[in-house]
Structure 1
Amino acid sequence: MDAKTTRRIKDNIAFEAARTKPPAEFPRLPDIAAARYIDPQFLELEKQGLWKRSWLYAGHNSQVAEPGSWFLTRNTGTPILIVRDLQGELRAFYNTCRHRGGPLVTEEAGQSRGFVCGYHGWSYTLDGQLKSVRDKRDFVDLDFACRSLLPVRCETLGGWIFINEHPDALGLLESLGPLESELRQFDLDNLMLVHSRSYDVPCNVKVLLDVFLEVYHLKSIHQDTADRFLDHRGMTATLWPHGHSRMVTPNRRPDWIDPGTREMPEIQSVTEIPRINNVSYNIFPNIVMPPTATGIPMLVFWPQSANTMRIECHWFGPKLTAENLSPLWDTRIKNFETILLEDLRFAGKIQESVEGPGFIGIPLNYQERRIYHWHEEADRRIGPERVPAHMRVEQMLGDWIEKL
C-alpha cells in the first residue's frame, strides 16, 4: 500500500472507532430476501450466472511444476483438467473426450506426455489436439482439427491458478482491478504452498461466506479468541468494482503480535497496514484471504448443494519457511483453525433456522455492507432482469465503491 492509502486507512479506523451512528450519507439498505439462500430457482440462476462466469481458484503452480504434469479439479461442478504442456504453457480443458464424453483422466493428478480416453482410446496431445483415434477407417470425413479438447480459460495471479468457464469474461487481472496491485506487496510469485485442508459444512455457501465478510459477530462467536485481540468497532471496509472488497480491523493493542508468528520468516515487501492490523480481502465470489507478513491463509468457499458446502483452507508462505514448518507453522495453523472451527460449528445451526418460516429477510447494517456489496455483484453477474423481482437486490452502494 502506498502512503496515501495507508494514511486514508488510518484515518478511517479512527473515524470508525469514534462514530456514534452510521455516516449521514450511508443509505438504508433494503432487506436481502431469504429466498436467495433457499429458493431452488435463485440457486440455479446463481450456479449458471455467477459461478460459471467468475474467476475461481483452481490450484497452485507447484501442482504442475514440470511439463507434462496435471491435476484435476471438480470444485466448479464440472471436472476440469489443469495441465502444463511440453512447452511449459499452462492450460485447462474439460476432462471430456470429444468422442462420447469419456474422462481423459480418472486419477486426481499425474504426469504424462498426452491423454488417452479409457473408453474408446482416442488420444490427445497435452495442448489438447486430437492425435489419433482407434479404427479411423470407420469414420467418414472425421476432421481432427475440429475435435480438439474444449479449453477453459486459465490465468494466474502470482503462483495461483484461476479458471473461468465464461469465454467473454474480463481477464483475471482486469477483473481484480486495484486489488491486484495491492496484493503485489505479498510477493505472490515466490510463495510456496505450505498446507491444505478442506471441511464439509452443512449450510448454504452464502451462510458461511457472509460470516467472513464482517466482524459484527466477533463478540458472540469468538469471545475467547479473535475478540480478545481485534477491535471490531474500528473496522473499516473498502468496496471495489466487480464485487471485491477489503476489511481492515485494528488490533486492540498496537503492539500485539500473533504468538504463532513470532520468529517466523517474513515477506519483506509487506507494508505497514497488514503488518499491524488484521486485513481481510474478498476476491469475488468465493475467496476470503487475511494475509500477513509471515504467511497467507486462503479460504475458498464452494457450494455443494442448496444446503451443503465445502471450505478449503490453503496456506502460503515465503519459500524460506520450508525448514520451519514444524513447530512454527503447526502452531500458526492450529491457532487459525481454532477460530475457524468456531464459525463452522455454528453454521449448521444457522442453516436449520434459515430453512424455517422465521427467516424472511436480512436487514444489513453499515458494518455489514460488504455482504450487500457481494449480493449486488451477484445480481450484476446473473443479470438483474433474470432475477425475479421479489429476490432481486436493489443497487444501492454505487457511490461507496472505490473507483478505478
Structure 2
Amino acid sequence: MDAATAEGFKQAMDYERGRKAPPENFPSLPDIPGVRYTNPEFLELERERMWRRAWLYAGHSDQLPEPGSWFLTRDPGAPILVVRGLEGDIRAFYNTCQHRGAPLVAEMSGESRGFVCPYHGWSYTLEGKLVAVRDRRDFVDLDFSCRSLVAVRCESIGNLIFINEDPEAEPLAQHVAPMAKEFEQYQFGTLRLVDSRSYEVECNVKVLLDAFLEVYHVQSIHQKTVARFLDHRGMVITLWPNGHSRMITPNSRPEWQDPGTIGMPKIATVTEVPANNNVSYLIYPNFVMPPSDSGVPLLQFWPVTDRSCRVVSTWIGPDYDPAASNPLWDTRIANWERILYEDLQFAPQIQESLESRGFRGMPLNYQERRIYHWHEELDRRIGLNQVPPDARVAQVLGDVVEA
C-alpha cells in the first residue's frame, strides 16, 4: 500500500470513529435465516455447491521438503493426497486406487518414489500414472492411460498450497485477484512453516466463521486481551467480488506495539497500514488471515458434520529455523491460543440455541456486514433459484467492491 492509500485508510478510520449512524446509503440488512445453520437440506446444498467447488487451503510447501514428499488431507471432506514430484512441482490426487477404491496411503505424511496400493498392488508414479498391475494377463483390454489417479486442482500463492475439487474452477490467481497486489508485500514465497494445530468444536462451521468476520464482539469476550488495544469503532471494511473481504482495525494508541513481537525477525516489505494496524483478510470461504510484519497466522474453518467443525490454526514467519527452539514464538503462539479459546468458548452453546425455537434469525448491523456479504456469496454459489425460500438471503449488498 502506497502513501496515498495509507492516508486514505487513516481518513476512513477517522470517519468511522466519528460517525453517529451508518452511512446514508447503507441498506437495511434483512435477517439471516436461522435455518441456514440447522436445516440438513440447505447444508447439503452448501456442501455440494460451495465447499466441493471452492479453493481451499491444503498446506504449506515446507510439508513437502523433498521430491517424493507427500501429505494427506481430509479437511475438504474427501481424502486428498498432495505430493511433490521429482521435478519439484506440486500436484494433488484423490487418495483412491483406480482398481477397487482402496487408499494408496494410510499415514498422514511420508516420502516415496511412487505409490503402490496395499490391497492389490496397483502401482502409480508421483505424477499419478498407472505403471504396473499384478497379474495383468487376467485383465481384458485394460488401458493404463485411462486409469491414472484422479487429479484435484492444485495451485499456490507463494508457499501456500490450495486445492479445488472443481476441475472447471477459475484459476486461483484470478480468484484472489482483488487481494493479489497487497499479498506481494508479505512475501509468502519466503515464509516458513512455524506451527499448526487444530481444535474440534461442537457447532456448525458458520457459527465460528461469522465470529471472525467482525469485531463487534471484542468488547465482550476479549476484555482482557485484544480489547485493551483494538479500537473497534475505527474499523474499516472492504468487500470484494467472490465473497472475499478485508477488515482493518486500528490500535487504540497509534504508538502501541505488540510486546510479543519485540525482537522477532521482520518482513521488511510490509507496508505502514498492516504494520501499524490489525488487518484481516478472508479468502472465501474459510481462510482467515490477519498478517503482521513479524509473522502471519492462517486460520481455516472446516465443516465436519452439520453441527461440528474443525478450526486449524497455522503460523508462518520469516527467517524461522525449524531445528532451533525459539521462546519468542512459543510465547506468541500461547498468547494467540488464549485469544482463540476466547472466541471458541461459547460456540457449542450457540449451536444449542440455534436449534431451539428461541432462535429465528440474525439482525446484522453495519459493523457485521462482512457476514452478510459471506452469506450472499453462498447463495450465489448454490444458485439463487436453488436455495429454499425460507433459507434465502436477499442480495442487498451485491457482488461489488466497497472500500
Shift of 1:219: 1.1
Aligned residue type for 1:2: D
Q: Distance in 2 between matches of 1:7 and 1:339?
A: 30
Aligned residue type for 1:329: W
SS at match of 1:152: strand
- Matching residue of 2:87: 87
* C-alpha spacing 1:402/1:366, structure 2 compared with 1 (3 Å): closer
1:203-257 superposed Cα distances (whole Å, 9 cap, x missing partner)? 1100011001000001111111111110111111000111111001111000111
Moved more, 316-325 or 69-78: 316-325
Summarize the alignment of residues 222-301 of structure 1 with structure 2, pairs less than 5 Å apart: 222-301=222-301
Q: What is the alpha-carbon root mean square deviation over aligned residues?
A: 1.3
Aligned residue type for 1:353: S
1:186-209 superposed Cα distances (whole Å, 9 cap, x missing partner)? 111000000111111111100011
- Matching residue of 2:75: 75
Does residue 1:146 correspond to 2:146, yes or no?
yes
1:82-128 superposed Cα distances (whole Å, 9 cap, x missing partner)? 01111221110000011110111111111111111111111111101
* C-alpha spacing 1:15/1:156, structure 2 compared with 1 (3 Å): same
TM normalised by structure 2 equals 0.98
Q: Is the 8 A contact 1:241 1:402 kept in 2?
A: no
Shift of 1:398: 2.6
Does residue 1:115 correspond to 2:115, yes or no?
yes
- Matching residue of 1:395: 395
Q: Which has the higher helix share?
A: 1
Shift of 1:317: 0.3
> How many residue pairs were aligned?
403
Q: Is the 8 A contact 1:239 1:373 kept in 2?
A: yes
- Matching residue of 2:192: 192
* C-alpha spacing 1:10/1:323, structure 2 compared with 1 (3 Å): farther
Q: Name stretches of at least 5 consecutive residues in structure 2 with no aligned partner.
A: none
Q: Distance in 2 between matches of 1:177 and 1:2?
A: 18
Aligned residue type for 1:53: R
Q: Percent identity?
A: 61
- Matching residue of 1:220: 220
Q: Is the 8 A contact 1:265 1:321 kept in 2?
A: no
Q: Distance in 2 between matches of 1:355 and 1:3?
A: 49
SS at match of 1:370: helix
Shift of 1:323: 7.8
- Matching residue of 2:384: 384
Aligned residue type for 1:84: R
Aligned residue type for 1:248: I
Aligned residue type for 1:147: R
- Matching residue of 2:57: 57
Q: Distance in 2 between matches of 1:168 and 1:399?
A: 21
Aligned residue type for 1:168: E
Moved more, 387-396 or 264-273: 387-396
Moved more, 5-14 or 112-121: 5-14
Q: Distance in 1 between matches of 2:174 and 2:324?
A: 36
TM normalised by structure 1 equals 0.97
Q: Distance in 2 between matches of 1:87 and 1:138?
A: 35
Aligned residue type for 1:156: S
Q: Is the 8 A contact 1:158 1:188 kept in 2?
A: yes
Q: Distance in 1 between matches of 2:44 and 2:399?
A: 30
Does residue 1:180 correspond to 2:180, yes or no?
yes
Q: Distance in 2 between matches of 1:270 and 1:236?
A: 19
Q: Distance in 2 between matches of 1:213 and 1:312?
A: 16
Q: Distance in 2 between matches of 1:153 and 1:97?
A: 18
* C-alpha spacing 1:9/1:400, structure 2 compared with 1 (3 Å): farther
Moved over 3 A (4+): 320-325
Q: Is the 8 A contact 2:249 2:278 kept in 1?
A: yes
Q: Distance in 2 between matches of 1:159 and 1:320?
A: 14
* C-alpha spacing 1:127/1:248, structure 2 compared with 1 (3 Å): same
Shift of 1:9: 1.4
Q: Distance in 2 between matches of 1:57 and 1:70?
A: 15
Q: Is the 8 A contact 2:265 2:319 kept in 1?
A: no
Q: Name stretches of at least 5 consecutive residues in structure 1 with no aligned partner.
A: none
SS at match of 1:47: helix
Q: Distance in 2 between matches of 1:235 and 1:168?
A: 36
Aligned residue type for 1:103: P
